A = this chain, B = another copy of it.
Amino acid sequence: MKEKKTIRKAQIAEKATKLFLERGYDNTPMSAVAKATGISKAHLYNYFANKEDLLFHIIKTTMHDEFNLILAAAEEISDPEERLRYFVRAYTDLLTEDGRARIMIHDASRLNSIHFSKIAIMWRRTFDLIRGAVSELQKSGKANKLNKNFVAFASLGMISWTFYWFDYSRKESATELSDTYIELLFQGLMK
């Protein structure tokens, strides 16, 4: 019974994700989600307490099922340069794979403070991963003495921004894109 509910929740979340991406979170009422899933609005509330709860479920699931795997794999890599390269490539791949990952970034500001703080833990872990790798590279004399926090934010910003402009009909360019990010971060634009 519980399993059936889990499957139904996942189906609703999938339809809702599609609607949120097409129309925007704020412009998608629960009635539209109910209509798309073919169940009554009253019944929908058996699965999600409200629209914010549904958004939290979507963001949590994306972060747990996809982003967390990237983070965990990166954290296992002992060499800091390799760790950073791996993360930049994998996170870019996640963002260019489909539009879903944009919800976990762009709409996180719509979460209530309790839900937001749960999501923020994972972003903090991401920030620490980059900052830590930069710090190790600086200690071993391999990296320039730049502000570690700013480098972490700059890297995250450069990659996260992808969802604003990436043409999802041209996914074949994803590898060239992550190559460019890695090159810029590690070598810079200039010869």
Contact = CB atoms under 8 A, between A and B. Distances in A.
A109 interface: yes
A168 interface: no
A73 to B, nearest CB: 21
Most B-side CB within 10 Å, residue of A155, A176, A189: A189
A188 B186 contact: yes
Nearest to A178: B150
A161 interface: yes
B144 A191 contact: yes
A38 interface: no
Given A190-B142, A191-B142, A154 B150 contact: no
Nearest to A184: B154
Nearest to A146: B180
Given A26-B26, A154-B158, A161-B157, A187 B190 contact: yes
A164 to B, nearest CB: 7
Interface in A143-161: 143-144, 146-147, 150-151, 153-161
A32 B176 CA distance: 47
Given A134-B189, A157-B160, A161-B156, A146 B26 contact: no
Given A151-B184, A186-B188, 11 more contacts: A81-B190, A144-B183, A144-B187, A150-B176, A154-B181, A156-B161, A157-B160, A158-B158, A184-B185, A185-B189, A187-B188
